[in-house]
Chain A
């Protein structure tokens, strides 16, 4: 039994546990890339990050807003689309192919395209706004419009993923409870609310757990669309840690920030996992 996990365990140690320890070591010392003194300073770097108004005032709220908004929207829209696709209609294939399209676009490519579409002078979004008689909006100049665009891109990229998983689950649901409920006089909404949703809840929960963890550590689309700007106001936690280390060259602060994020995420992961096992247990 142990021999079976040995290869994976070795890889885990070499590429995950050892690097984390190296990072932890750097986070307790003064260590900048151009001046690696490596003096031990204890928790000073952690104190610096945790008392940085940018970190607790902008970066953490941004990260949680991004996570909550993108997972909620993806889940709701994905569920809606899955229910919609779970029936026969003309043009079903076209719609299904179209919905799968975002899955085949690399996130960075999608982000570049979205940035261009929301360009303040040449973007199609402002052309449409003007055609409708509205003022053109400099989308990437303001904090919340930039944030909204980043979130929308993420939702666009990941809704198909929710749809496929939920649709697959819908197809495997037993028909009997639905029939029984219909015979007992339940309307479509009640059948959905009291039969379909509870039966789906384990799958929904798995989706939420996976996506929440991924969304918390988002880097690529934020980096491509806003680089954390304007004026560092849309930085998420990954961007913040990256900038500390490789833009301001403070490896110590970057490591500390990355490890603080890791602790938050691990705590959240544990909570989500608990919630997941609870849901799965109840539905059994």
Chain B
């Protein structure tokens, strides 16, 4: 299904524009990361590039710590939620009727509650349990 006549260059133009639009912010981020401290404010001017920013960032202990944190959270959260929801998913796929529709409705309902509604109670809860800020 190839477009014909005048449509082809037009299509190419749109495709290029979309590609640029999607890539630009990321490309700009990479470019900014490669500039020395003096070049960050005028990224479009000058040609000095350096990998020093990466070396500096990786040398910071809190940087490595936050990567470890992300990895731990991602792994634990995935494993736990899979372990907990596996059987419930099986149940929803195999059974129909009141129980399963009520269950699904409950899940959907609680998914609709904005996470900000949980931040405050969880803060109070952890405060009450005395585990606030103990990681």
* Cα-based distance from A88 to B1 in the complex (angstroms): 7
User: Assuming A7-B87, A20-B117, A258-B117, is B25 touching A156 (CB within 8 A)?
Assistant: yes
User: With A5-B91, A124-B28 given, is the CB distance from A95 to B114 under 8 Å?
Assistant: no
Q: What residue in chain A is nearest B115 (Cβ atoms)?
A: A217
Q: CB distance A7 to B88 under 8 Å?
A: yes
* Nearest-Cβ distance from residue B135 to partner chain A, whole angstroms: 17
Question: B74 → chain A, closest Cβ, in Å?
Answer: 12
Given A113-B28, A122-B42, A217–B116 Cβ distance below 8 Å? yes
Interface residues of B in 88-116 (CB under 8 A from A): 88, 90-91, 95, 99-100, 103, 106-116
Determine whether the beta carbon of A101 is less than 8 Å from that of B116: no
Residues of B within 8 A of A26 (CB): 120-121, 124
Q: Which of B18, B21, B110 contacts A16 (CB 8 A)?
A: B110
**Contact-residue size bin, chain A (C-beta under 8 Å from the other chain):** 35 or more
Q: Which of B28, B99, B120, B121 makes the CB contact (< 8 A) with A117?
A: B28
Chain B residue at minimal CB-CB distance from A14: B125
Q: Report chain B residues within 8 Å CB of A216.
A: 114
- Other-chain residue from B14, B18, B83, B121 in contact with A23 (beta carbon distance below 8 A): B121
Given known A-B contacts A124-B28, A266-B113, A269-B112, A19 and B122 have beta carbons under 8 A apart:
yes
* B79 sits at the interface (CB 8 A): no
Q: Which residues of A contact B83 (CB under 8 A)?
A: 7
Q: How many residues of B contact A (CB 8 A)?
A: 50
The reply to whether A101 and B22 contact each other, CB–CB distance below 8 Å, is yes
Across the interface, name the chain A residue whose C-beta is closest to B111. Answer: A213
Closest to B91 in A: A4
Interface residue B41 (Cβ < 8 Å from any Cβ of A): yes
Contact B112 A266 (CB under 8 A): yes
The answer to whether B120 and A23 touch across the interface, beta carbons within 8 angstroms, is yes
From B127, which residue of chain A is reached at the shortest CB distance?
A33
A139 at the interface (CB under 8 A from B): no
B121: chain A residues at CB < 8 Å are: 19-23, 26, 255
- Residue of A whose beta carbon sits closest to that of B122: A19
- Known: A95-B19, A219-B115. Contact between A109 and B29, CB under 8 A? yes
Contact indicator per residue, chain B 43-55, by CB within 8 Å of chain A (1) or not (0):
1100000000000
Which of B1, B29, B95, B123 makes the CB contact (< 8 A) with A1? Answer: B95
Q: Are B112 and A265 in contact (CB under 8 A)?
A: yes
Distance A127 CA – B121 CA, assembled complex (angstroms): 46
Distance in Å: Cβ of A189 to nearest Cβ of chain B: 13
Residues of A within 8 A of B119 (CB): 242, 245, 258
Q: Cβ of B59 < 8 Å from any Cβ of A?
A: no
Does A261 count as interface, using CB distance less than 8 angstroms? yes
List, in ascending order, chain A residues with CB within 8 A of B109's CB.
266, 269
- A273 in contact (CB, < 8 A): yes
Which one of B90, B95, B117, B122 contacts A241 once the chains associate, using CB atoms below 8 Å?
Answer: B117
- Further 9 A-B residue pairs, CB within 8 A, beyond A8-B85, A26-B124, A113-B28: A1-B100, A4-B90, A5-B103, A9-B88, A84-B15, A98-B18, A219-B115, A259-B117, A269-B111
